[in-house]
Amino acid sequence: MADTHSEAVPRAEYPRPQFVRADWLNLNGAWRFSAAGADGLPSAWQLDDTIIVPFAIEAELSGIGDTDFHRALRYQRDITVPTQWAGQRLLLNFGAADFDTTVWVDDVEVGRHRGGFTSFTFDITSAVTGPSFVLSVLVEDDPEAIQARGKQSRRLEGYEAFYNRTTGIWQTVWLEPVSQSYLRRPAILPDVAGSRLLCELDVAHAAGKQTVRVDVYDGNGLIVTGSVAATSQVKPTLVLDIPADRLRLWSPEDPFLYDVCFTLSGEDGVLDTLDSYAGMRSVAIEGRKVLLNGRPVFQRLVLDQGFWPDGLMTAPSDDDLVKDITIAQEAGFNGARMHQKVFEERYLYHADRLGYLVWGEFGDWGARVLGTDRQEPTLSFVAEWIEAITRDLSHPAIIGWCPLNETFEPVGPHLTTLDDATKAMYSVTKAIDPTRVVLDASGYSHRVPGADIYDSHLYEQDPVKFARLMGGLADGTPYTNVGHDGARWSVAYADQPYFCSEFGGTWWSDDDQPQADSWGYGLAPSSRDEWIERFRGLVKALADDPNMFGYCFTQLTDVFQEKNGIVTFARQPKFDLAVLKQIQSEPTPYENGGSDTRTNENDS
């Protein structure tokens, strides 16, 4: 393996832990850089600054920390290909770059990508003509464009629930060698009812007599192996039966992961190997219940924005990703909504191994026309969301998808662009992934009749009023978000599983008073004890409802001006996390009245 793990390389760990190649070259670190400069071929660029990749120009850890608007960023560095890679194809991988990315090898353009949240790969083999080359990257981001930007502010400053921007490269960049034929990302889908794993394979440049072998291991060694001809289908599927005595389900209590190895071989031997893992678990709907492995598990979720003071959307270290999960678990949460951001793959890896339930979400905010309340979802939403689902499909920790958040528009006599976009995002999610539940839009405008899940957002701070507003679910009339004028935003509730996916948001700060740059929802409590009692009352109102399958509390951390986290932006606890855990540990009627069977016919 190329030595890429020097302390001088930031975020030196392998960025794609579910599909690992042994040989790779981490390209993080110092790059030549300019936030201005002439157009033209990269050889003509004037790059007088230095930036530390993978941190955005706005982040302090980039070495720059410039929070102004940046429409075009230029990156460049010299690459020397390891001599042992001679004769192999070269794949250039980006964890993410925001928003429009163009890449050159020397002055040869090798690829373009649009979208700020998803990973992409370019095969640069044909452009590399010698042992060394100059890699150049242009990332463009129009602050006035209608595009997915999550919580990034379109004003110069952060305000309300919008934060500092993340422009340019913000996740790891790496290079890896592969054979002329190689494995693209496989998909691993568990089938608990059938006690088997389904592996959808994808071989690039398949030719001749090639086979893909998949081996599955547990702690006692090899369980099952299977193989299929690489050219038997465009994407051959391999079924791997897990013997009953080796079947172990993944759950928050026991997040067991099988080791999986993919091997592509040809007539001359092994061509490619990927080391992976898988979790056996099912997600199903039974009436108003969401079942995990056939049993109702009350989802005590927390809203996680995925921002850090010095890294913004990029975690300063791998340990910081782990810390956010363990903080939540110490406070009694068993999962999170990964809010308005496609989180990096290493976060999902840690959620997988720590038994942390997460909902995958798209960062669709930003599609509002400046100066108006009008929304314009774009076709790029669908394209980027497909990339996100496809990348993260095999992570057992993900139990649900949510493509849109807080869209708003009255239900009228005619279908609108929002109806089309919501249906498209929902339908493509169901088509790609039949194994999980899908929420068409979190809160506000539900536009898909009979969607898997229905929800609402409610930031009422009085627990008594909150309980009364949320109390109609038993009668089939749950709380539904409407316009300020009372206009109906959503299609009718269809008796599907329901949860309150945003509540709380209660301000608390030891350092300042509630104001525009230190805010939470509603009237701020006068003491820490009052905050805790409010938390207790709000949680109890939802947890005591036998028809509610979960909730999502706002939020895990303070983020800039939003001072409504259970910990500060620096991840220091604001409250005794053990007390919050005790409040959330009370048995719920939802779980006590649930099915004891492990699987059922609705398992998906």
- List, for residues 74-133, the tens digit of each pLDDT value: 999 999 999 999 999 999 999 999 999 999 999 999 999 999 999 999 999 999 999 999
- Of 278, 312, 338, the position where a domain reaches its end is 278
Same domain for 451 and 360: yes
DSSP state, residue 524: P
- List, for residues 364-394, the tens digit of each pLDDT value: 987 776 667 777 778 889 999 999 999 999 9
Query: Does pLDDT of 585 surpass 90?
Result: yes
Say how far apart CA 29 and CA 8 lie, in whole Å.
7
Q: Could you tell me which of 351, 331, 412, 228 has the C-alpha nearest to residue 574?
A: 331
Same domain for 174 and 41: yes
- pLDDT at position 378: 83
- List, for residues 239-284, the tens digit of each pLDDT value: 999 999 999 999 999 999 999 999 999 999 999 999 999 999 999 9
Contact 436, 396 (CB under 8 A): no
- pLDDT at position 129: 94
- List, for residues 524-573, the tens digit of each pLDDT value: 999 999 999 999 999 999 999 999 999 999 999 999 999 999 999 999 99
Same domain for 249 and 169: no
* Domain membership flag for residue 598: no
Say how far apart CA 497 and CA 284 lie, in whole Å.
11
CATH number of the structural domain spanning residue 272: 2.60.40.10
Question: Amino acid identity, residue 321?
Answer: L
Query: Does pLDDT of 2 surpass 60?
Result: no
* Domain membership flag for residue 291: no
Same domain for 307 and 272: no
* Domain membership flag for residue 196: yes
Query: Does pLDDT of 517 surpass 50?
Result: yes
- Beta carbons within 8 Å of 527's beta carbon, 6+ residues apart: none
* Domain membership flag for residue 294: no
Say how far apart CA 167 and CA 14 lie, in whole Å.
23
- pLDDT at position 38: 66
Same domain for 197 and 50: no
Query: Does pLDDT of 599 surpass 50?
Result: no
Say how far apart CA 218 and CA 223 lie, in whole Å.
7
**Distances 599 to 220, 295, 332, 506 between C-alpha atoms, Å:** 25, 8, 26, 39
- Of 136, 160, 178, the position where a domain reaches its end is 178
Question: Amino acid identity, residue 381?
Answer: F
- Beta carbons within 8 Å of 565's beta carbon, 6+ residues apart: 555, 556, 557, 558, 559, 574
Backbone angles phi, psi at 346, to 5 degrees: -70, -30
- Of 146, 178, 210, the position where a domain reaches its end is 178
Range of the domain at 50: 25-178
Q: Which helix (H) or strand (E) holds 539?
A: helix 528-543
CATH number of the structural domain spanning residue 531: 3.20.20.80
Give the three-class secondary structure for 322. helix
Say how far apart CA 514 and CA 507 lie, in whole Å.
7
Counted domains in the chain: 3
DSSP state, residue 243: P
* Domain membership flag for residue 130: yes
Which phi-psi region, left, alpha or beta, contains residue 201 (left: φ > 0; alpha: ψ -120 to 50)?
beta
* Domain membership flag for residue 16: no
Whether the upstream peptide bond of residue 17 has omega within 30° of 0, thus cis, is: no
Residue owning tokens 């990257």: 137
Query: Does pLDDT of 603 surpass 70?
Result: no
Same domain for 403 and 510: yes
Name the H helices within 477-525. Answer: none
Say how far apart CA 537 and CA 223 lie, in whole Å.
48
Q: How many CB atoms are located within 10 Å of the residue 236 CB? A: 19
Q: 105-109, 143-147, 493-497: which has the minimum mean pLDDT?
A: 143-147
Same domain for 357 and 261: no
- Beta carbons within 8 Å of 130's beta carbon, 6+ residues apart: none
- pLDDT at position 5: 43
Same domain for 271 and 189: yes
* Domain membership flag for residue 290: no
Q: How many CB atoms are located within 10 Å of the residue 262 CB? A: 21
Same domain for 488 and 558: yes
Beta bridge partners of 31: 51
Same domain for 261 and 308: no
Report residue 231's pLDDT band, with 50, 70 and 90 as the boundaries. confident
* Domain membership flag for residue 3: no
Say how far apart CA 256 and CA 254 lie, in whole Å.
6
Same domain for 239 and 158: no
Report residue 447's pLDDT band, with 50, 70 and 90 as the boundaries. very high
Residue owning tokens 């009953």: 244
Q: Could you tell me which of 556, 116, 2, 537 has the C-alpha nearest to residue 344?
A: 116
CATH number of the structural domain spanning residue 31: 2.60.120.260
The stretch 329-342 carries a mean pLDDT of 98
Q: Could you tell me which of 146, 147, 163 has the C-alpha nearest to residue 155?
A: 163
Same domain for 191 and 158: no
